[in-house]
Amino acid sequence: MFGLVFPNRSFPLDISTFTQIDTFHWVLDMNHFVGEEYDSIREVCIFLLNNFTLPPDKALAVYIQSPGSPFLFCGAVTVSRPSAVLSLPWPEPGSNAAQLQLTAPDVPPLSA
């Protein structure tokens, strides 16, 4: 389906690294993945894999959330733009787990 890499921080990660919440939402617990230093990760490269196709009018969107903050839209990939390097503008951290969430753009991100 899709994969991502945190430049200079990780090997490529596939969908098995994420928790699938429902048909259209996948979540990566950044605290579990990288610890409390999640906010030092400033970029993500997301890409569609060859066997995954989206309808031409759909996209896979990336949102981030620091604890106690709303989700922030970071960008998306589409069939015509199958990969992207996106900035991760983390809000000030709180006391809970930070998340990176992927969803269809016409589906709002899940609440924390």
Give pLDDT, residue 87. Answer: 95
Is 112 a domain residue? no
| CA–CA gap between residue 11 and residue 13 (Å, rounded) | 6
Give the number of domains in the chain: 1
Question: What residues in the chain have per-residue pLDDT under 50?
Answer: 112
| pTM for the predicted model, two decimal places | 0.79
Query: What is the per-residue pLDDT for 54?
Result: 82
Q: Which pLDDT score, from 0 to 100, does residue 82 have?
A: 93
Q: What residues are paired with 5 via a beta bridge?
A: 45
> What average pLDDT does the structure give for the chain?
83
Locus of tokens 């589409």 = 78
| Host domain of residue 77 | 2-103
pLDDT by residue (tens digit) across 5-14? 999 888 898 8
Question: How many C-beta atoms surround the C-beta of residue 83 within 10 A?
Answer: 12
Residue 38 lies in a domain: yes
Pairing of strands 60-65, 72-77: antiparallel
